[in-house]
A and B are shown apart, each in its own frame.
Chain A
């Protein structure tokens, strides 16, 4: 696995991004912007499924109207995220928050596998029901939770440092003054 990460990181494109000046933050900003202008579509769908907003609009109008925009947004976001990861893959490898984020993304995938046939592919059935079925509310609530998890772990990736790269002065201080207590 680690060898695969190293191979990825050593590709010329990934090396270029890593060693670049402005390209890296631009890729990162684009990743973040996609979260802002496409993530909101997920929020809207979830709020509609929960029955908290857009209740005058049918679930079919909301789900079907936003579906392709969410897909396009996800594709751009994924491409940018993969570039960020790939350019520093071996640094991501030991990062627990990276793996936590990947776990949340896996749960998002499982969510899609479970709820797509039950909810998202048949919004007309949900509209036909007098109250929003529990399975649709569950899909909306879980989606909000899982994506929040993805987002928070994604941000926390940036805060984790491998132990040996911590400031030697601080480590020294820690060992001499903090540990003995």
Chain B
């Protein structure tokens, strides 16, 4: 029953050759937007980027836009996924991407936000947090692209 439903969604999505590419454009534009804004906070935590500002200020200013971007990413992603569920579930790079994404999201809204908001945290903690954040998001992007190559 579930399989039938998934198939009918996939048929609807695959009925036009434009749905997938357009969803993909939204997906890429929105991840560039949201990951880029998260990276801007990371850059500030590493000591470069926007001048004369604390990481907490950069986070405060970017957060609404980051969440907007992430919302578009997380809405367009499932459209791509539902067009060919079986292929994605058997794709090792997709599985890797989903795990990395889950860790990245949890990390972002817990540790990353907490460290970025605190202006008293010690510099090494700040640097490590920024590097982990960048590494996690980069692995999500790599995992996503490699879906087409594994």
Contact = CB atoms under 8 A, between A and B. Distances in A.
Given A40-B35, A69-B49, A47 B137 contact: no
Contacts of B49: 41, 65-66, 69
Contacts of B37: 40, 43-44
A152 B28 CA distance: 8
Interface string B118-150: 000000000000000010011001101110110
Contacts, number: 110
A32 B28 contact: yes
A43 B145 contact: no
A40 B36 contact: yes
**Which size bracket describes the interface of A in this complex?**
35 or more
A97 to B, nearest CB: 10
B32 A39 contact: yes
A146 to B, nearest CB: 13
Contacts of B144: 32
A19 to B, nearest CB: 14
A148 B43 contact: no
B61 A57 contact: yes
A29 interface: yes
